[in-house]
Amino acid sequence: MVPDFQGQGIGGQLIKRGLQWLSASGTDLVFVLGHPGYYPRYGFQPASPLGFEAPYPIPDKDADAWMVQALRPNVIGTVSGKVVCADVLDRPEYWRE
Ligand SMILES: CC(C)(COP(=O)(O)OP(=O)(O)OC[C@H]1O[C@@H](n2cnc3c(N)ncnc32)[C@H](O)[C@@H]1OP(=O)(O)O)[C@@H](O)C(=O)NCCC(=O)NCCS
C-alpha cells in the first residue's frame, strides 16, 4: 500500500472483509504468516501450539508469526498436521524473513 494511505484502517478493513468472505464460502480455518503484534487483533492466534505445522519451517524466533483463526466452532482440536499452501505461495523463500 502506498505510504500516504497506510495507517488509516484500510488494511484492517481488507482483513475483516476477507474473513467474512471466507466464512461465507465455507472456509473452516484461515492461516497467516504475519506480525504477531498485528493479526491477533483480528482473531488470529499462534498455530503451532494448536497442532498446525507451517508448509515450510519457521525459525523459533518467529514461531508466533505462524497464526490461525477458526471460522467455525469445534474445528481446532479435531484436525492437525502440516498445512499445504496454495501453489502461488509454495516457495520456500516466501516463508523466510
Ligand atoms: C501492512 C499494511 C498492508 C497495513 O495496512 P494499513 O491500512 O496501513 O493498516 P491499518 O491502518 O488497518 O492498521 C494500522 C496498524 O497496523 C500496524 N502495521 C502496519 N504495518 C505493519 C507491519 N508491517 N508490521 C506490524 N504492524 C504493522 C500499524 O503499526 C498500525 O498499528 P496501530 O493501530 O497499533 O497504530 C500497510 O501498512 C502496508 O502496505 N505497509 C507497507 C508494506 C508492509 O509493511 N507489508 C507487510 C509485509 S509482511
Q: Is residue 4 part of a domain?
A: no
Largest CA distance in the chain: 44
Q: Is residue 81 part of a domain?
A: yes
Q: Is residue 88 part of a domain?
A: yes
Residue nearest to atom 48 of ligand 1 (CA): 34
Residue nearest to atom 17 of ligand 1 (CA): 38
Number of domains in the chain: 1
Q: Which residues does ligand 1 sit against, CB inside 6 Å?
A: 1, 6-12, 34-35, 37-38
Residue nearest to atom 5 of ligand 1 (CA): 11
**What would the pLDDT profile of 16-64 be if each residue is shown by its tens digit?**
999 999 999 999 999 999 999 999 999 999 999 999 999 999 999 999 9
Q: Is residue 3 part of a domain?
A: no
Closest ligand 1 atom, residue 6 Cα:
8
Whole-number pLDDT of residue 97? 83
Domain of 73 in residue numbering reads as 13-95
Indicate the residue type of 64.
D
Q: Is residue 17 part of a domain?
A: yes
Q: Is residue 37 part of a domain?
A: yes
- Name the pTM for this structure: 0.90
